[in-house]
Structure 1
């Protein structure tokens, strides 16, 4: 294929031609030759080596040009594109041609934007987004839909015949008929009316359409046909070549509402004082073959998506909730990792097997925590008391492994920031509560980290192709912000030439009792980059791990499924890979890593958006109320703040501050021109909720002292007026405008 690629490059660098002409010039006379040329040309397009114009002619991408997916920021006023090396290129709106978020484009490098190269879109190659969700605005004879996704910065024209009887202000789903041209807005057709703003029942459909997600429980017909052909029971012939662990005390520990059980654990104390830890993971790869429609769909989705009380699974429920799930009292096929761990927390011996288990108990975190905290009643002891000794040993081992991670500098103590919602009988959010992690959650976390590291080392030590979970060093600018902020608090922090996570862990330990501990954690998290999948092992900064992967959740993550497929080949090759497998995975892993990283990002954004919608639904009921908020970010236009107990974020616009404030870039602060009052990250202030918009996901606050000053006479009626959308209106200020 490499030779064919070179020949195609040689042809199109002189003159753009259609595929038929390439066949002719390469004398492709039979179907197999033409198939290989087509496949190579398609790969050249996806790799950004070539592009096709509107006449289907292939052009060679020059050294000053880049092909990629354009991604706009949430405000829609700036875009970025990553080249094939992962380097970002900035594109201003005026240089974006008529491109829309997620379009595949050809850009030309034209200079610098801040510290990044800048580019200009010179051709739109493909429109990725086919549907959008937005709010309908009706004019006399026509209408417009304003997208709820701020990354899409155009309103869509709706002709009378395409309105579908939508009413003013309704939230609708739109099929894109025409994309934006030089002088015309994009055009769409309303295909579904979701409902009125504020109705909680439309939140999930909004998120699904906004992020282009599949509907929960829906799979293509061919995928379901394959899933339904898989037997519900394991046959005796499937035991062949497997190590039998069914007589061992192995069980699952998961959340109360979990339905799919990827992992089970077992533990023995050995005579030499070491621990034998078994981590048994559902053998999904046994049922999802490379060439199957199940595999293609799993790759396409790449991850299960958790949208509060709804799951969009990677695999059909017939697999994820039953035959691939490690259900209590059922024989199940596994990939079983057995590790001998010494009292220092090091793995001194490990083996991976095709296994078979029978889980002795479906245990929940809440029940396990009660046992471990000696808080179990008689009924609970009768149910799971037989696991107490093993759970106590697991607790011992957890602390040993955790201490091992601490010694090497792994970051341990950052809170997850997860919340859960309580709903009333009408589906509205009644309360927001922080999700606390108990001892059993930490046990499973430490065991899974250790398993993931051990599996990654199998491949890393031998230099075999593999898919790693990698985490780059922190962003330098953000570290400087963190350093400046800590120094303001009186905490000394030197940025070493070679950054190590141990430095950040020491900060967490120093500040664990500080009143601004949560703000310090948030700034520290923002200083770190996002973990991604890669075939190139650069290590995992946050875990201080030389090699790390995702092995433990193949029901819900495609990279884990790929790792299992590779482990099977590794076992077949007697702890090695055969030559053909090395060649195969060397070719496919870069694309799989990039694709899965992107899909994971989409899933995360969808989950965050729905959580934010529900937080705003809650805070809308509290407009006009006073809260203590912490400043989490400082910009030229105002202060980002958070209600810590509800983890609700919002903005105090600079116009709401009682002075003319100047932004100090050096220490990331706002300083009042007359009063010299200073606002920094971590400051605690009293503020009033002024506005909460569920559609734009924005919450506005004003300082409480300003609210009191302007409304001394009638503070109770400050937010009593309502606008058309049901948001409580902010007051009109008296006196001079700011």
Structure 2
């Protein structure tokens, strides 16, 4: 027999009070928590309170507040070894999956056992008894830590004075209620960023407080800013941080210049994208009398302007990185620093931290120094302008550009010979109108000018890490963990199971890529990448290999960088847009002054945070690209595109549209010419009656039939199956 609404109210009220035994709760608060509207529900709520009071379960306080009667608290749960801790991932259907280090497979949490957990919360789960052959299931018994500080959704009016927020799918799985005083100036239909105020019971709604209004749902700003909030990134800086930045002087005191190596008379230039404003790095180059190259990589001296533990430093640490979205940059530092004081703008004196490297004609570094400098950039090149000079266009910097290009070729060849993996993944670039609507999409051209800058920066990053290694070797102490701790960019061996997956997928094409040992050589990966170059498999295998790769991280424990093939590697060259580079500058400066800096344990903590922020930024960047791809294809419904199968699952095939490097899906239910079964081993769909196969790398032609901008999804239909 189902419970009456009054009995349900009783149960929820008692549960709330047992979880908050000291709390005195007003009648109006209960009305909001239980979303009570109308006279009948009000009467039921009053009856529920009176029933609990009559049974001595609650007491009434002055003013009508209610409180738990003593002796009615929840009994302590007995210690249980059948308990695991992890992070909760909640699907759009409201089912939870606990990601825990205790098991390889996630633990399923049915929606009725989620309690008051939200996406990414750290929770404690009690496991149910497991049936044979069934997956592990459990229920959440405690929320240890909230995973998200902000959420994003659409404001709706509910009744006369109640407001609800319907969160975006990636943000939360349940609606929130908002008290009128927390609505600010938001109007129904607005996209808003909000915080969790409280959630007292799983059968009530969580309470929200609106912190920012993004604009009407569907507008470009609302769409883009929603992506940031989904990934826990805020666009605007707190007022006090902006104020701190504005008070930083743009003048360089003579005393500071005297203290540094003054190289303002040297030829120095920058090479950056045409729309860049934050110039992190500059280059100088010459050939010494002994025939060696003398390369200078000059980096904006952010740490001079940003001492540790200031509000500016705390905000930069919190952000961890700049975020590069399709139509805007969310900087790590306020504009006064990122585009002004620190930026190595042309024809301005700037403070830099420079790495000078003497490099032999065979690419081997024979000497180096790391110094605080004053520079004066003579010219600002875009990549396209630099390429023109590399290709022979006359310039007053032709000689320097020619030297740099020649050195870059030497360094590039040496790097690939020594085990660096040659990844080339095309990136889409959007042409937007004044409202941010994509009117065209092209694939970015990869110029040698990009390679030139990359090789110079890689060399500097490698050199500073080697420098610390040399400092340790010069020291007489035996241990290295606490001796000159350093902040490395590390990259572990790839996932062998995922690489074996690639082995299965390239076999039908006659490509023999074999994994039979516990490790894999970068040479084997480069051979495969060479074999699939300019074939239909190229994009797919590149993507599969990237997924098989371990994620690069920041850590004080140096395990080397597998992808680059470097034993020592750190991030030194971008402190305007990456906090790890700020840390590296501070470490190098401290050691040069003979002083201690960050401890090993501090660096572990900073590394974990910065790696997490980097992953959030990458997700936001990918989401913004996907959004613009979906918006672009929304204007091309019914049109056909050539594509390559980039993924196969039981429900259908993913297709990469060649012209715009954008992925959509053909659902298996739309393949109506046969009944298709999924061959898990070969990663293909096979027709039961006619034997037709859909597999990775197969070229097909598809039509765009549906797009969902909100979910950022593209549905395709097969036009030509390539046979």
SS at match of 1:514: coil
Distance 1:119 1:352 in 2: 55
Distance 2:254 2:539 in 1: 54
- Is residue 404 of structure 2 the alignment partner of residue 390 of structure 1? no
Distance 2:165 2:122 in 1: 23
Structure 1 residue 403 displacement after superposition: 0.6
Distance 1:424 1:301 in 2: 29
Deviation track 1:203-227 (CA, whole Å, cap 9, x = no partner) reads: 22322332332234x3341x23332
Distance 1:319 1:619 in 2: 38
Distance 2:404 2:82 in 1: 57
Change (3 A) 1:521 1:272: same
Q: Over aligned residue pairs, what C-alpha RMSD do you find?
A: 3.2
SS at match of 2:396: helix
Instruction: Choose from 705, 708, 715 the match for 1:690.
Output: 705
Tell me what 2:369 maps to: 351
Change (3 A) 1:541 1:588: same
SS at match of 2:686: strand
- Is residue 246 of structure 2 the alignment partner of residue 231 of structure 1? no
TM-score normalised per structure 1: 0.79
Superposed counterparts of 1:522-671, under 5 Å? 522-573=543-594, 578=595, 580-581=596-597, 584-658=598-672, 659-671=674-686
- Is residue 521 of structure 2 the alignment partner of residue 500 of structure 1? yes
Distance 1:343 1:310 in 2: 41
Contact kept in structure 1, 2:124 and 2:144, CA below 8 Å = yes
Deviation track 1:36-88 (CA, whole Å, cap 9, x = no partner) reads: xxxxxxxxxxxxxxxxxxx9xxx9x99976666545568865545466x9x97
Contact kept in structure 2, 1:175 and 1:188, CA below 8 Å = yes
Equivalenced residue count is 630
Superposed counterparts of 1:142-291, under 5 Å? 145-150=165-170, 152-157=172-177, 171-179=191-199, 181-188=201-208, 194-216=214-236, 218-221=237-240, 223-291=241-309
Structure 1 residue 117 displacement after superposition: 9.4
Contact kept in structure 1, 2:151 and 2:171, CA below 8 Å = no
Distance 1:458 1:115 in 2: 54
Change (3 A) 1:163 1:554: closer
Distance 1:448 1:118 in 2: 49
SS at match of 2:397: helix
Tell me what 2:11 maps to: none
Structure 1 residue 175 displacement after superposition: 4.6
Tell me what 1:432 maps to: 441
Tell me what 2:37 maps to: none
Tell me what 1:441 maps to: 450
Change (3 A) 1:404 1:180: farther
Distance 2:339 2:283 in 1: 19
Superposed counterparts of 1:472-511, under 5 Å? 472-497=492-517, 498-511=519-532
Superposed counterparts of 1:71-82, under 5 Å? 71-72=89-90, 77-81=95-99
Q: Which runs of 5+ in 1 are unaligned?
A: 1-54, 707-738
Distance 2:86 2:537 in 1: 42
Distance 1:641 1:361 in 2: 44
SS at match of 1:281: strand
Distance 1:89 1:293 in 2: 42
Change (3 A) 1:117 1:259: farther
Contact kept in structure 1, 2:92 and 2:173, CA below 8 Å = no
SS at match of 2:614: helix
Distance 1:116 1:596 in 2: 34
Deviation track 1:399-449 (CA, whole Å, cap 9, x = no partner) reads: 10001111111112422x322211234431101111112121110011111
Change (3 A) 1:562 1:485: same
Superposed counterparts of 1:132-151, under 5 Å? 132-135=151-154, 145-150=165-170
Contact kept in structure 1, 2:645 and 2:656, CA below 8 Å = yes
Deviation track 1:684-712 (CA, whole Å, cap 9, x = no partner) reads: 11211111111111111121269xxxxxx
Structure 1 residue 676 displacement after superposition: 1.2
TM-score normalised per structure 2: 0.80
SS at match of 1:699: strand
Change (3 A) 1:392 1:81: same
Contact kept in structure 2, 1:75 and 1:150, CA below 8 Å = no
Structure 1 residue 593 displacement after superposition: 0.2
Deviation track 1:511-530 (CA, whole Å, cap 9, x = no partner) reads: 21323322222222222122
Structure 1 residue 322 displacement after superposition: 1.8
In terms of Rg, which structure is larger?
2
SS at match of 2:599: helix
Change (3 A) 1:93 1:685: farther
Contact kept in structure 2, 1:91 and 1:120, CA below 8 Å = no
Distance 1:63 1:585 in 2: 36
Tell me what 2:695 maps to: 680
Deviation track 1:382-409 (CA, whole Å, cap 9, x = no partner) reads: xxx1111111111111110001111111
Tell me what 2:429 maps to: 420
Tell me what 1:23 maps to: none
Tell me what 2:43 maps to: none
Structure 1 residue 263 displacement after superposition: 0.6
Deviation track 1:78-136 (CA, whole Å, cap 9, x = no partner) reads: 545466x9x97733232654321132333467899999998764311333435432345
Contact kept in structure 1, 2:301 and 2:351, CA below 8 Å = yes
